[in-house]
Amino acid sequence: MENSEFAKIFREIAQLLELRSAGGGEDRFKVRAYRKAAQNIEDLADDLKTVYQKGGLKALEEVPGIGAGLAAHIAELIKTGRVKKYESLLKQFPPGFIEMTRVPGIGPKTALLFLKKFKIASVAKLRQAVARGLIKDLPGFKEKKLENIRQGLALKEKAKGRFLLSEADQYIRAIVSQLEKLPEIERILPAGSYRRGQETVGDIDLLVTAGNAGPVMKAFTSLPQVKRILSRGPTRASVILKNNMQADLRVVGPKEFGSAAHYFTGNKQHNIMVREMAIKKGLKISEYGVFRKNKWLAGRTEAEVFRSVGLPFIPPELRTGGGELAAARNGRLPRLVELSDIRGDLQMHSDHSDGGNTIAELAGAAKQLGYEYIAVTDHTRSARVAGGQTEKEFLKELEEIDRLNAGLKGLRVLKGVEIDILPDGTLDYPNEVLKEAEVVIAAVHSGFKMPKEKMTRRLLKAMENKYVNILSHPTGRLIGRRDPYRVAIEDIIKAAKATGTYLEINAYPERLDLSDVHCRQAKEAGVLMAIDTDSHAALQLANMKYGVLTARRGWLEKKDIINTLPLGQLLIKLKAKR
């Protein structure tokens, strides 16, 4: 089993317990524990099954957020393929009911009300009920609430068949690590939207060169991640994975590996434009190579393919038909930021608010990544659901950071805060408190349905505060779960430049906010950005790679990102606005 499968079951247990709590049960206090465990399991670098096989229950209990009870569930699942508690909870609700609770705008109490009043127990039945106007007469169901449910259904439909980049990454890494062990395989490359670093992935494309394709086909279709085989031929196979994602594997010859890599990596528009350039030169480009009439000319490497049409190598993340060919022709391709350029992480949460680790543990994890600095930015008092701190608690935390820094070598913990932007644009702490922090990140955590003009004014006012360094997750979106709030992003970018405020690229896989499109707009306006993980556990610091991929898709270079700076230069930048 993949870690994502363990996490899925724990997350569904949390949902089922939440539903039972809404119906009058006493399980509410357990919900958060299961959710936190699910998140930590997803972020775990090691395979959970391997952890158990090597060290038993004791090793499982060393995973953050996994106590004795949850470790026993994991062991039960590994040994039997079942979790009795999970199956018992599932039996308490109709099939399809839990899926309905995932529709944005449908909380546990609303779902239970629909079940009780109209026997609505699935997404399909919910769509029918909304279309027929069945629920509009329920007490409290005004047009605004109904519209939220309609939008939630539309968002769910839009996300159908798409998977977060992080989930695809987990499956691909597991599959590649197993196939690489085959002696027949010479090269293996994940392609498609995954290689372009898109925020969601529809399916997986794997390219392989091998001396003998037969054993490769057999191994691929026999992987433990495979749920169902769609087809299996001499050099191509398609399967459905256990998370319902399709994966295709193609075995190609060394002579055509580069052309196949180019063909299966670029999006449709990019590939069409490259083929049109080839036609003008009397060439034909396909997945099999570059040809003049019937004569093969190139295709062993992607660089050969690009060279055949007079272009330098174009990074995979830029192959979208968004101006990359013109930039390549004119020598204006950006030198994209690399993960190795990142010197520190400027947003994370400790156990002082809703994080799962101490500040010292976060610092230890950051040192292992080779960082020079981190900023601990716990929540403020208005975010009580996230364990937000009072001013007194915050100042006490800063004293703890000073004591920790006194004994740290090779890493500096910056005193930070994620300050709530209140509905009127004022901040959760007064300036006399904010001045004690070295990094102030401002964020919206409530009132997402504000009119566009009001939300824009709210953010602009916060950015005008001289202590606000970074605007966090500027559009508030959660991919597949919540649309961006309505805001004039062009005005926000303009204000960032005018006020000296940096914009965040939040690397949390469900956020990736700013998006690649907005990153490029900010770059063109001369606005600097910070790539932060918004970690709530030490394990999540590894999510930085998803933020870097977003930045690369947005054409960003090292010079566009403030946390590529060494500590001294970063501190100068942070103090400049004051």
Higher pLDDT, residue 134 or 449: 449
User: CB–CB of 511/525 below 8 Å?
Assistant: no
Higher pLDDT, residue 138 or 567: 567
Q: Which long-range contacts (CB under 8 A, 24 or more apart) does 291-299 make?
A: 296/255, 298/258, 298/259, 299/255, 299/256, 299/257, 299/258, 299/259, 299/260
- CA dihedral defined by 305, 311, 312, 317, rounded to 10 degrees? -80
Identify the band that residue 216 occupies on the pLDDT scale cut at 50, 70 and 90. very high
Higher pLDDT, residue 358 or 480: 358
Q: Give the pairing type, strands 284-286 and 289-292.
A: antiparallel
The DSSP H or E segment spanning 89 is helix 84-90
Q: How far is CA 418 from the centre of its chain?
A: 20
CATH number given to 339-576: 3.20.20.140
Cβ-based neighbours of 572, under 8 Å, separated by 6 or more? none
User: CB–CB of 466/430 below 8 Å?
Assistant: no
User: CB–CB of 425/460 below 8 Å?
Assistant: yes
Percentage of the chain surpassing pLDDT 70?
Answer: 98
Identify the band that residue 28 occupies on the pLDDT scale cut at 50, 70 and 90. low
Residue 183 carries which DSSP code?
A: T
User: CB–CB of 347/418 below 8 Å?
Assistant: yes
Three-state secondary-structure class, residue 231: strand
Three-state secondary-structure class, residue 394: helix
- What is the pLDDT averaged over residues 344-366? 95
Task: With a cut of 90, say whether residue 218 has pLDDT above it.
Answer: yes
Residue 541 carries which DSSP code?
A: G
Looking at residue 556, what is its pLDDT? 98
Cβ-based neighbours of 324, under 8 Å, separated by 6 or more? 270, 314, 318, 333
Cβ-based neighbours of 116, under 8 Å, separated by 6 or more? none
Looking at residue 143, what is its pLDDT? 76
- What is the pLDDT averaged over residues 506-518? 96
Which strand ranges, in their side-by-side order, compose the sheet holding 289-292? 284-286, 289-292, 295-298
Q: What's the rounded Cα separation, in Å, for the pair 207 and 194? A: 13
Three-state secondary-structure class, residue 294: coil
pLDDT tens-digit series, residues 259-309? 999 999 999 999 999 999 999 999 999 999 999 999 999 999 999 999 999
- What is the pLDDT averaged over residues 34-42? 85
Other Cβ atoms less than 10 A from the Cβ of 137: the count is 7
Which strand ranges, in their side-by-side order, compose the sheet holding 185-190? 185-190, 203-210, 246-251, 236-241, 226-232
Identify the band that residue 105 occupies on the pLDDT scale cut at 50, 70 and 90. confident
Residue of 245, 264, 221, 231 lying closest to 171 (CA atoms) = 245
Write the DSSP string, 553-568. HTT-BGGGBGGGS-HH
CA atoms within 13 A on the CB side of 409: 0
**pTM, rounded to two decimals:** 0.88
Looking at residue 26, what is its pLDDT? 53
- CA dihedral defined by 391, 397, 401, 402, rounded to 10 degrees? 70
Q: Which long-range contacts (CB under 8 A, 24 or more apart) does 573-578 make?
A: 573/502, 573/528, 574/438, 574/439, 574/469, 576/500, 577/466, 577/467, 577/468, 577/469, 577/499, 577/500, 577/501, 578/435, 578/466, 578/467
Residue of 105, 101, 147, 150 lying closest to 122 (CA atoms) = 101
User: CB–CB of 2/42 below 8 Å?
Assistant: no
Task: With a cut of 90, say whether residue 526 has pLDDT above it.
Answer: yes
Task: With a cut of 90, say whether residue 421 has pLDDT above it.
Answer: yes
Identify the band that residue 443 occupies on the pLDDT scale cut at 50, 70 and 90. very high
User: CB–CB of 555/61 below 8 Å?
Assistant: no
Task: With a cut of 80, say whether residue 159 has pLDDT above it.
Answer: no
Write the DSSP string, 334-374. --B--GGG--EE--B--TTTT-SS-HHHHHHHHHHTT-SEE
Q: What's the rounded Cα separation, in Å, for the pair 143 and 188? A: 53
- CA dihedral defined by 319, 325, 330, 332, rounded to 10 degrees? -20
Instruction: Give the CATH class of 163-251.
Output: alpha beta
User: Quick one: angle between helices 544-553 and 165-179, nearest 10?
Assistant: 110
The amino acid sitting at 165 is L
Q: Which overall architecture, per CATH, does domain 266-329 show?
A: 2-Layer Sandwich (3.30)
The DSSP H or E segment spanning 141 is none
* Alpha-carbon distance values, 176 to 26, 181, 204, 246 (Å): 44, 9, 12, 15
Other Cβ atoms less than 10 A from the Cβ of 336: the count is 20
Higher pLDDT, residue 337 or 149: 337
Homologous superfamily in CATH for domain 3-155? DNA polymerase beta, N-terminal domain-like (1.10.150.110)
Query: How would you class 327 by CB atoms within 10 Å of its CB: exposed for 0-12, middle for 13-18, buried for 19 or more?
Result: middle
The DSSP H or E segment spanning 425 is none
Three-state secondary-structure class, residue 107: coil
- What is the pLDDT averaged over residues 129-142? 78
* Alpha-carbon distance values, 137 to 119, 120, 158 (Å): 16, 15, 28
Residue of 257, 260, 282, 256 lying closest to 271 (CA atoms) = 260
User: CB–CB of 327/306 below 8 Å?
Assistant: no
Q: Tokens at residue 352, please?
A: 């002082």
Domain boundaries, the chain: 3-155, 163-251, 266-329, 339-576
- What is the pLDDT averaged over residues 121-140? 83
pLDDT tens-digit series, residues 143-156? 777 888 888 888 88
The DSSP H or E segment spanning 163 is strand 163-164
Task: With a cut of 70, say whether residue 25 has pLDDT above it.
Answer: no
Identify the band that residue 424 occupies on the pLDDT scale cut at 50, 70 and 90. very high
Q: Tokens at residue 150, please?
A: 């309609």
Q: What's the rounded Cα separation, in Å, for the pair 529 and 477? A: 18
Average pLDDT, the chain: 92
